[in-house]
Structure 1
Amino acid sequence: MTTARPTIIDFVEKYSRQYEHEVYLREKVDGKWKEITQGQTREEAYRIGAGLMSLGLRKGDKIALLSESRAMWILAELGAMYAGATDVPLSVNLGEGKDLVFRINHSESKWIMVSGNHLPKIRAILPECPAVEKVIVFDDVAFDFDKLEAKEIRMSEIQKMGDEFLNAHRPEFEARFRSIGPDDYANISYTSGTTADPKGILLTHRNYTANVEQGNSVITVDHGATMLIILPLDHCFAHVAGMYTMMIYGGSIAFVPIGKNAMATLRNIPTAIMETRPHVMLSVPALARNFKKNIETGIKK
């Protein structure tokens, strides 16, 4: 472990063992809150990373990620990092047009991981992204999609392939993730592109871990605290102040239940707050202002 300049992999290896049985991820599935521990997070990242290696992913390959904020988002990204890939997180607000095509092509992404909710976007633009070799679909039953198309494979199949790869080639998998250094790229974060073509910001593993270490001086989170993440996970802030900060403090991350569309998800926020009783919330300013307004209105009543 490169303790002086740790990687994200170093963080996971250290803290997922230190807090092996502590709940890390919480999401509502079929009306019930499902919990995933730090140890289970590491094991799932192993399965996904090994599955990607089995499928042919090479160290340094770019893999785009398009999904709502959910547990699988984090598991998939960590799995990709364990396989040595550079993640390209994409905003769910991007449509089927040139913005999505530009980011996938500009980043030279050969792989795409996508939730069933956003699979139609990828199917619509895939002919314009010739470098893409595989599309990995998160959901076993991808909403209205019963059959997969060319290049598509379900995440559950990747996980099964990962189990087989770990059984047969575990030393190769461990050698891969141990070869990742602090100056290797963790992801490519794109600017909004409102005034010109989006700029891809190359962020290393050490960029992230240094920010987390520095953030410890201003972010105080108690061990075992719960954070409700409303901010999209493609944001760098969600990585630093959310995913990795809660990991090193032994806290948990809860997600707002996903609706059929963005508005349906927003309507789930009040219920998520009541049911998870978070100590911390990670949100965008507009939502924070709305919370403040509603609280002040309630006090006046």
Structure 2
Amino acid sequence: MENLIKTPVEMLSHWVDTQGDKVYLRQPIDGKYVDFTWREVQQKMHQIAGSLRHLGLERGDKIAVLSKNCAEWFIVDLALMYGGYISVPIYPTANAETIRYVVEHSGVKAIFTGKLDHWAEQEAAVGGDILRLAMPYDTMPAQYHWQQLLKLGQPLVDEPLPTADQVMTLIYTSGSTGKPKGAIQTFTSYGWACEAVIRDLQVNTTDRLLSYLPLAHITERVAIEGSSFYSGATISFVEGLDSFVDDIQRCRPTVFFSVPRLWTVFQLNIINKIGEKKLKTLLKLPIISSIVKRKIKSGLGLDQSRLNGSGSAPIPPSLIQWYNNIGIDICEAWGMTENSAYSIINYPFNAKKIGTVGRPVEGCLVRQTEEGELLVKSPGLMSGYYLQDEATAAAFTEDGFFHTGDLCEIDEDGYIDITGRVKDNFKTSKGKYVAPVPIERKLAQDSHVDLICVIGSGLPHPVALVQLSEGSKLQPREEVRTSLKETLDGVNPHLESHEHVDAIIVVNDEWTIENDVLTPTLKIKRHVLEKAFSAKVDGIRGAKVRWEDEL
């Protein structure tokens, strides 16, 4: 059977034929765009693929990519596909230990490095005989630089197209529960997911997308990079964290995906500028309300965005509701590395279903186990975990459904509410099981809470660890304490007695990727916090609110 799903390499040829001189990639350098047309991207792809052959790398070899998002990331990705190589993307924020693990486990022969904030700390992980190839940014020392790679050997042309079941990439999970696993994605599984995004979200050549969430993560690789391959849309990149807002305003995206963390930051900025009470008042006045909404949208650079999404971690329903009130609808979506990220989405946006992740997309089947675990099956599913046959076998049912590890409820309209993780449920010292996620969601309604993690394995009762929002850190402690105590006293009576939260502990140190509390996709590593806090919080009773320095 011929390959019905076209590969990104074929799609590139299509856009070169139909709009070859149109700008495809826009890379800001020193505050100005450096533009690449579709034709230029294809020429560079041929040249980079040719230089890899010249350097003795063969079809089927694995090559890592370690860089923040940039135009060259796309070009390298296409060159690896075209040359028959298997790409292994690594998070640009990964620490040396993770990089070393991925590089050794996958067996890469070469690595492309690009824009990195802390390459000096990461460099030791890329050792020995791995060939280093550099993109044109401040990056770790390399044997070959971008300008050299664009001249080495002969451009590679007339290569056989990738076949449907050929492995395109190994995507390592962000490792929220232990060592990362490498999900094997083929040209078919990746292509199916990208085409499904285009079909449902109706992205086309007139769309402008902004690429800034890590490309090493499946969501960005499918929803943004993949969308552009299959829709012919234009992509702009971000120069740096300081220029982020300017970069959004310069791009004025028509489709914009983000993560809960960033939607929260935007919300705080808006509230700090206008003031919460004033904003509520203004939104009640008919004509003023629409002017205020317009101003907020254009201040964010989202006045042209017809679709806003959130994924990769749970977003508080109250936050989506808040945005809905100011005229910005955020479609929550759910996906995993293992199913090419695109499975379930609340699109078209349904305000009545805020708090759910939406319904399965066409071609994706879902069902529940007796325990309430969500099982999914779609053509976007991985072939398995690289070199981990046992983990692969355990991940699938006999009829090919994937065990997501997420607990869910499915309503009568088919909308799915993710209620927690199977592995997150812990046993207290009283031998009772507790599901922490629903408790976290209730406590997180307090606006002083930025991040929250409920622990309790082996403790008499659960305890909530809280990182305060920026503004709350500046407020008097007793004010914050009173609010958190009210929230806690409002939540506990609605929980089973064994679920009652004994204390809220406000932590001293910020939770970050660097101190290993957050994964690169900003999920909280519960096991890390349990290890750090279980002994500290044992013995606190009676629904207290304490700061870590008061323990």
Q: Which bracket does the TM-score occupy, shorter chain normalised?
A: 0.7 to 0.9
Q: Is the 8 A contact 1:138 1:155 kept in 2?
A: yes
Is 1:136–2:133 an aligned residue pair?
Answer: yes
Amino acid at match of 1:276: C
Is 1:107–2:106 an aligned residue pair?
Answer: yes
Q: CA RMSD in A?
A: 2.2
Q: 2:158 aligns with which of 162, 174, 182?
A: 174
The structure-2 alpha-carbon separation of the partners of 1:296 and 1:225, relative to structure 1 and needing over 3 Å to count, comes to: farther
Q: What's the counterpart of residue 155 of structure 1? A: 146
Is 1:90–2:90 an aligned residue pair?
Answer: yes
Q: Is the 8 A contact 2:8 2:191 kept in 1?
A: yes
What's the secondary structure of 2:63's corresponding residue? strand
Give the fraction of aligned pairs with identical amino acids, expressed as a percent: 26
Q: 2:265 aligns with which of 290, 294, 297?
A: 290
The structure-2 alpha-carbon separation of the partners of 1:19 and 1:295, relative to structure 1 and needing over 3 Å to count, comes to: farther
Amino acid at match of 2:208: T
CA–CA separation in structure 2 for the residues paired with 1:116 and 1:236? 19
TM-score, structure 2 normalization: 0.47
Q: What's the counterpart of residue 193 of structure 2? A: 211
Amino acid at match of 2:37: T
CA–CA separation in structure 1 for the residues paired with 2:119 and 2:106? 19
What's the secondary structure of 2:179's corresponding residue? coil
User: 1:121, CA displacement in angstroms?
Assistant: 4.4
Q: What's the counterpart of residue 28 of structure 2? A: 28
The structure-2 alpha-carbon separation of the partners of 1:26 and 1:9, relative to structure 1 and needing over 3 Å to count, comes to: same
Q: What's the counterpart of residue 262 of structure 1? A: none
CA–CA separation in structure 2 for the residues paired with 1:250 and 1:179? 20
CA–CA separation in structure 2 for the residues paired with 1:194 and 1:276? 33
User: 1:1-301 alignment to 2 at 5 Å?
Assistant: 4-96=4-96, 98-115=97-114, 117=116, 119-127=119-127, 130=128, 132-139=129-136, 142=138, 148=141, 152-161=143-152, 164-166=153-155, 173-175=157-159, 178-258=160-240, 265=241, 267-295=242-270, 300=279
Superposed CA offset, 1:166-186 (max 9, x none): 3xxx5xx423xx142121111
User: 1:80, CA displacement in angstroms?
Assistant: 1.6
Superposed CA offset, 1:121-143 (max 9, x none): 4531233xx4x43100112x636
Q: Is the 8 A contact 1:182 1:205 kept in 2?
A: yes
User: 1:19, CA displacement in angstroms?
Assistant: 2.4
The structure-2 alpha-carbon separation of the partners of 1:79 and 1:256, relative to structure 1 and needing over 3 Å to count, comes to: same
Amino acid at match of 1:135: R
User: 1:81, CA displacement in angstroms?
Assistant: 1.6
What's the secondary structure of 1:217's corresponding residue? helix
Q: What's the counterpart of residue 261 of structure 1? A: none
What's the secondary structure of 1:257's corresponding residue? coil
Q: What's the counterpart of residue 403 of structure 2? A: none
The structure-2 alpha-carbon separation of the partners of 1:102 and 1:226, relative to structure 1 and needing over 3 Å to count, comes to: same
Q: Which runs of 4+ in 1 moved over 3 A?
A: 116-119, 292-299
CA–CA separation in structure 2 for the residues paired with 1:223 and 1:12? 13
User: 1:222, CA displacement in angstroms?
Assistant: 4.3
CA–CA separation in structure 2 for the residues paired with 1:179 and 1:225? 27
The structure-2 alpha-carbon separation of the partners of 1:61 and 1:197, relative to structure 1 and needing over 3 Å to count, comes to: same
User: 1:281, CA displacement in angstroms?
Assistant: 1.9
Unaligned 5+ segments in structure 2 are: 283-551
Q: Is the 8 A contact 1:23 1:251 kept in 2?
A: no
Q: Is the 8 A contact 1:115 1:138 kept in 2?
A: yes
Aligned length: 274
Superposed CA offset, 1:65-89 (max 9, x none): 0001111111111112211110000
Q: Is the 8 A contact 1:230 1:284 kept in 2?
A: no
CA–CA separation in structure 2 for the residues paired with 1:189 and 1:93? 15
CA–CA separation in structure 2 for the residues paired with 1:191 and 1:285? 19
What's the secondary structure of 2:189's corresponding residue? helix
Unaligned 5+ segments in structure 1 are: 259-264
Superposed CA offset, 1:253-278 (max 9, x none): 111113xxxxxx2x311111222222
Superposed CA offset, 1:178-212 (max 9, x none): 14212111111011223222110011111111111
Q: Is the 8 A contact 1:228 1:281 kept in 2?
A: yes
The structure-2 alpha-carbon separation of the partners of 1:41 and 1:31, relative to structure 1 and needing over 3 Å to count, comes to: same
Q: Is the 8 A contact 1:15 1:248 kept in 2?
A: no
User: 1:293, CA displacement in angstroms?
Assistant: 4.3
User: 1:52, CA displacement in angstroms?
Assistant: 0.6
User: 1:250, CA displacement in angstroms?
Assistant: 2.4
CA–CA separation in structure 1 for the residues paired with 2:145 and 2:32? 23
The structure-2 alpha-carbon separation of the partners of 1:245 and 1:9, relative to structure 1 and needing over 3 Å to count, comes to: same
What's the secondary structure of 2:150's corresponding residue? helix
